[in-house]
Structure 1
């Protein structure tokens, strides 16, 4: 059993929160458009990796 699984789940949760928040903000500012979905997923993935690297650097 590895201890990475809870951390990975927590990171996925943060990525989902970041993705949903950025999608809501983009929809409010620029209007609803299906074009935002891949852009928001990319932003969320970048934010998730940044959060993950920041966590590992802090240790």
Structure 2
């Protein structure tokens, strides 16, 4: 049985975060599927990355320019 290891934001490098954001935004994978595929602890982690690094304007709910 594998021991569960809690991951933190520091465990993910910038290129990894950007690749997950790109994959989700391009429609290749859903947020939930990304968490399972990459072993990310929760949906909110990916949602935060999308807000920080994605091409979507979350305040106006429109794609960023």
TM-score by length of 1: 0.32
Looking at secondary structure, tell me which structure has more strand per residue: 2
Structure with bigger gyration radius:
1
Higher relative contact order (CA 8 A, sep 6+): 1
TM-score by length of 2: 0.30
Looking at secondary structure, tell me which structure has more helix per residue: 1
